[in-house]
Amino acid sequence: MKVKKGIPSGQDVAGYLANVVLLAILYIVAWWLGQKVDFSREDTRVVWPQAGVALAGLCIFGTRCWPAIFAASLLVTQYIVKLPLFPARAQQEVPLALGFGFALANTLGAASGAWMLRYLGKIRFSLSRVHDVSVLVLYGALISPMINATVAVPFFVAQQPASQAIAEVLWWKRWVGTGISNLVVAPFVMTWLAAIISAVKPAKVKEWQLVPDQRPFTARWPLNRIGEAALLFSLLVVVCHAGFATEKLSREVFAFPITYTPFPLLVWGALRYGPRGAATTVFIVAVISTLGLSYKFGPFATVDMGLLLLQLYLTVLALTALFLSSAVTERRLAERELLTSREQLRALTGRLEQAREDERAAIAREIHDELGQQLTGLKMVLHSVVRRLPAQDPKINQKSEELTQLMDEAVQTVRRIATDLRPGILDDLGLVASMHWLVEQFEQRTGVPAEFRGPAEELAIDTDRKTALFRILQEALTNVTRHAHASTVSVTLLQKGRDLELTVTDDGRGGAANALAGTRSLGVVGMKERATLLGGEFDISEAQPGTRVMARIPVSAKEEA
């Protein structure tokens, strides 16, 4: 049955309602945990974790799920806060109008922030770019809390006229508390929630542009990585407990310097586990330090401005961790894309080389079979005509001999061109024999003594490796002819373990290696590409005197890098 366009199906409605209910539950749980952890002062909080959950949730589930934030906020102030489950400090009467105003402020702040992050900032929920963290700071930690505070404070002043004199202070407190929540809690919830949902719905990986490092549930981590993560977070908990939740340290001189101890662990998490690791380390530090302040432990409990100093500390911590992790992840992604593009370019080069070899073979066959036969037939006809010419005319005899010689040279030229395009000996007798033949041809053509040393028996390798090594030797000998001015040339083909090593050494003039290694030396580029395409290595060096060209290629495809 087809569903009319624009009318949501029952499955869509059920999915939407499930998202709304889930987000509302997360909001209420975050508020409850905040009450359990942050109770140092009655009039303000270090962080409001429900604000960070609201921002991250609306980013993940979409701004259309705003009713979840409004309903959950209203439920908290009008019903849940009055339950015996919560301490007396949380059980404060909130008039319905004020509860409505708070719910409206929380909803507008989170929804506007999520909308700006999604559509203006184009944020990736993995926070894998510096841009993502920048827009999170701008829209999530600055503008969104401003909207929240601007809407909430007038409602509060209307219900509490006596607070008119401190309205500006109330605005600043709400803006700072919500902003820090969006900077500390939202990245933690956003990165983990995106990872969990993408594991259940793999299509979200592409939609949200998650990087592989941000998908821990799609593949198992090796044991050493799991052990490293356990060690990292165990050390972080121990260090934070010693620095923020130990009564003795609150009276020690080194109480404030000890707050720097989480930074190395924070850097560890950012470098090794990306933005999600950085967000998790910051969240753990925030929870333990806030709990320590609530119980009057740690360095921030010893000063009058302890709450404000802790907020500043968490802000610096979060900014450092998130920007560091996003910069490192962005660089890794760029390197990964570069490696991918190189692999694609090499694969394309390999296909082009194969196409060129196929075309050479086809042209060689056409020249040998068609043009070669035609020239041979023409030569036979010419000999027949010459035999019928009068023998008394010396000029005719001379011209006929010249014509016959030119015909013989044309036939030899055609054969040489066909052989250069695709030596039949390479296919018929193998690599060792074809290299030996190529070195002999080089010596005959140039007059330079050349020596070839190779295996006694033919090598059992595939056609791609035969062709690559043969073409590398062919190009190396061509470069010797053009650049080296050598008096002797030595060619060696050896099998070293799982590799085949081809070495071409001449005793020509020095500096040839630098000349050949220039960016315009297409022959050298071609030799290097042939070697690397098969997982091998290529190098040009000085031989003292002369030049040494070395190519090393794995014997089989299984050994390729």
Residues 492-506: tens digit of each pLDDT: 999 888 889 999 998
Establish if 151 belongs to a structural domain.
yes
Q: What is the mean pLDDT of residues 49-55?
A: 96
Assigned token pair, 513 = 């290696």
Residues 62-100 as b or e (16 or more Cβ within 10 Å = b): ebebbebbbbbbbbbbbebbeeeebeeebeeebeeebbb
The amino acid at residue 68 is A
Establish if 289 belongs to a structural domain.
no
Predicted pLDDT at 561: 41
Q: Could you give the CA distance from residue 254 to residue 299 in angstroms, rounded to a whole number? A: 9
Residues 260-272 as b or e (16 or more Cβ within 10 Å = b): ebbbebbbbbbeb
Q: What is the mean pLDDT of residues 304-319?
A: 89
Residues 205-216 as b or e (16 or more Cβ within 10 Å = b): beebebbebbbb
Establish if 112 belongs to a structural domain.
yes
Q: What is the mean pLDDT of residues 305-312?
A: 87
* pLDDT per position as a tens digit, 63-80: 999 999 999 999 988 877
Predicted pLDDT at 374: 74
Predicted pLDDT at 220: 63
**Residue 58, domain CATH:** 1.10.1760.20
Instruction: Say which residue, 150 or 296, is predicted with more confidence.
Output: 150
Predicted pLDDT at 59: 95
Q: What is the mean pLDDT of residues 309-317?
A: 93
Q: Tell whether the model's pLDDT for residue 424 goes beyond 80.
A: no
Q: Could you give the CA distance from residue 469 to residue 473 in angstroms, rounded to a whole number? A: 6
**Considering only CA atoms, which of 479, 475, 473, 474 is closest in space to residue 553?**
473
Q: To the nearest 5 percent, what fractions of the chain are helix, strand and coil?
A: 75, 5, 20
Backbone angles phi, psi at 511, to 5 degrees: 85, 0
Least confident of 128-137, 138-147, 231-240, 360-369: 360-369
Instruction: Say which residue, 405 or 130, is predicted with more confidence.
Output: 130
Predicted pLDDT at 251: 53
The answer to whether 448 and 486 are in contact (CB under 8 A) is yes
Taking the chain, what is the end-to-end CA distance rounded to the nearest angstrom?
53
The residue among 213, 244, 267 that closes a domain is 213
Q: What is the mean pLDDT of residues 225-237?
A: 92
Neighbours of 142 (CB within 10 A): 15
The answer to whether 467 and 426 are in contact (CB under 8 A) is yes
Establish if 201 belongs to a structural domain.
yes
Q: What is the mean pLDDT of residues 265-272?
A: 93
Predicted pLDDT at 264: 94
Establish if 477 belongs to a structural domain.
yes
Q: What is the mean pLDDT of residues 295-319?
A: 85
Instruction: Say which residue, 532 or 388, is predicted with more confidence.
Output: 532
Any residues with CB less than 8 A from the CB of 63 and at least 6 apart, and which? 111, 114, 115, 118
Establish if 235 belongs to a structural domain.
no
Across 195-199, 422-426, 472-476, 553-557, the highest mean pLDDT is recorded for 472-476
Q: Tell whether the model's pLDDT for residue 104 goes beyond 90.
A: yes
Q: Which residue segment(s) compose the domain that 436 sits in? A: 428-561
Establish if 370 belongs to a structural domain.
no
Q: Tell whether the model's pLDDT for residue 511 goes beyond 60.
A: no
Across 7-21, 424-438, 507-521, the highest mean pLDDT is recorded for 7-21
Q: Alpha helix locations (H) across 219-299?
A: 223-244, 262-294
Q: Tell whether the model's pLDDT for residue 218 goes beyond 50.
A: no
Q: How confident is the model at residue 225 (pLDDT cuts 50, 70, 90)?
A: confident
Q: Could you give the CA distance from residue 428 to residue 466 in angstroms, rounded to a whole number? A: 12
Predicted pLDDT at 363: 77
* pLDDT per position as a tens digit, 344-355: 877 777 677 777
Q: What is the mean pLDDT of residues 477-481?
A: 85
Q: Could you give the CA distance from residue 146 to residue 106 in angstroms, rounded to a whole number? A: 11
Q: Could you give the CA distance from residue 348 to residue 121 in angstroms, rounded to a whole number? A: 36
Establish if 330 belongs to a structural domain.
no
**Residue 461, domain CATH:** 3.30.565.10
Is the alpha carbon torsion for 287, 288, 293, 296 positive or negative? Answer: positive
Q: Tell whether the model's pLDDT for residue 327 goes beyond 60.
A: yes
489: part of which helix (H) or strand (E)? strand 489-496
Q: What percent of the chain has pLDDT over 90?
A: 34
Q: Tell whether the model's pLDDT for residue 412 goes beyond 80.
A: no
Any residues with CB less than 8 A from the CB of 554 and at least 6 apart, and which? 498, 499, 500, 534, 535, 536, 560, 561
Q: What is the mean pLDDT of residues 534-552?
A: 86
The residue among 193, 213, 233 that closes a domain is 213
Please give the mean pLDDT across all residues of the chain.
82
The residue among 213, 240, 275 that closes a domain is 213
Predicted pLDDT at 519: 45
Instruction: Say which residue, 151 or 430, is predicted with more confidence.
Output: 151
Per DSSP, what are the bridge partners of residue 550?
Answer: 503, 539
pTM of structure: 0.73
Least confident of 13-27, 203-217, 239-253: 203-217
* Collapsed DSSP state (helix, strand, coil) of residue 517: coil
Q: Tell whether the model's pLDDT for residue 92 goes beyond 70.
A: no
Neighbours of 488 (CB within 10 A): 13
Predicted pLDDT at 559: 44
Predicted pLDDT at 216: 47
Q: Could you give the CA distance from residue 480 to residue 476 in angstroms, rounded to a whole number? A: 6
Q: How confident is the model at residue 248 (pLDDT cuts 50, 70, 90)?
A: low
Task: Give 309's DSSP letter.
Answer: H
How many separate domains does the chain show? 2
* pLDDT per position as a tens digit, 170-192: 899 999 999 999 999 999 999 99
The answer to whether 196 and 226 are in contact (CB under 8 A) is no
Predicted pLDDT at 22: 94
Neighbours of 285 (CB within 10 A): 27
Least confident of 139-148, 190-199, 248-257: 248-257
Instruction: Say which residue, 337 or 188, is predicted with more confidence.
Output: 188
Assigned token pair, 380 = 């036979």
Any residues with CB less than 8 A from the CB of 503 and at least 6 apart, and which? 490, 491, 492, 493, 494, 548, 549, 550
